[in-house]
Homo-oligomer: A and B are copies of this chain.
């Protein structure tokens, strides 16, 4: 009996095919979208009636997400049947999705445990927006893109590392070049980094830019490296998408290979 309920709950909260599971999925997505809307509306000067409604909704939604979180931990041993129940639950708790779920509900419970400034709490409430990632669990289409990023993670991280080093070098150099001419905008290397970001990403707000000849030459070099910075991750990600497609192709191709010597069909690979 207990086992049967558990397995039914598991069926429902996981992305299942039966009706209750689908209703649950749609319900969670609606809750997340409502969270988004109230998060945006909260930033406006809205009448206190609505403020009140949003606060009520917040209590209800946190309650629902808390129940969902507990149910997921409870049924985690069905997710990892190869592990002992305790280990399965621990493994689930430290998974990316479970941490997101926890962070999304934690700020609400914080004032019960520690004394916290109300202002800071308000800011913390934006963490609710992390619930958006729960949608990911429900949309198959995003998984292809996610897969590409996962496959190419090490190369992408390397390219981010290069960019980080480039930014530090550019900032320290620019500070040395421009700090005399513009002591306000380039007062130290960290301030100069704001210029480096705007230039490397080619955003170019125009609030800080070099005015000396040497500064302009450095900015030119950095701006062109910025183009490379777009090109490298684009190349990595494009290769990722092409490979995904190709590996699909290969699976199809595999069915039709022949040995040139004996003419037999070979399904190698």
Contact = CB atoms under 8 A, between A and B. Distances in A.
Interface of A: 36, 39-40, 42-45, 122-123, 126, 129, 132, 135, 139, 141-142, 144-145, 148, 154-155, 157-163, 165, 168-169, 171-173, 175-176, 179, 188-190, 192-194, 197-199, 201-207, 209, 216, 219-220, 223-224, 226-245, 253, 256-264, 266-269
A253 B269 contact: yes
Nearest to A258: B260
Contacts of A209: 205, 207
A202 to B, nearest CB: 5
Copies in the complex: 4
Given A158-B145, A161-B142, A172 B129 contact: yes
25 contacts: A40-B188, A129-B169, A129-B172, A141-B154, A144-B158, A145-B232, A148-B235, A193-B220, A194-B216, A197-B219, A203-B226, A228-B237, A230-B234, A231-B233, A236-B241, A242-B245, A257-B268, A259-B260, A260-B263, A260-B266, A261-B262, A261-B263, A262-B262, A263-B263, A266-B266
A193 to B, nearest CB: 8
Given A204-B203, A241-B239, A256-B269, A158 B139 contact: yes
* 9 interchain residue pairs of minimum CB distance: A258-B260, A259-B259, A206-B206, A203-B204, A235-B237, A43-B189, A239-B241, A235-B238, A201-B223
A82 B22 CA distance: 37
B145 A159 contact: yes
Contacts of A223: 197-198, 201, 203
A162 B145 contact: yes
Nearest to A223: B201
Contacts of A266: 258-261, 266
Given A235-B240, A238-B241, A256 B264 contact: no
B236 A234 contact: no
A64 to B, nearest CB: 20
B44 A188 contact: yes
A216 to B, nearest CB: 5
A172 B193 CA distance: 24
B176 A126 contact: yes
Contacts of A236: 231, 241
Contacts of A197: 216, 219-220, 223-224
A179 B126 CA distance: 14
A165 B36 CA distance: 9
A259 B256 contact: no
A180 to B, nearest CB: 10
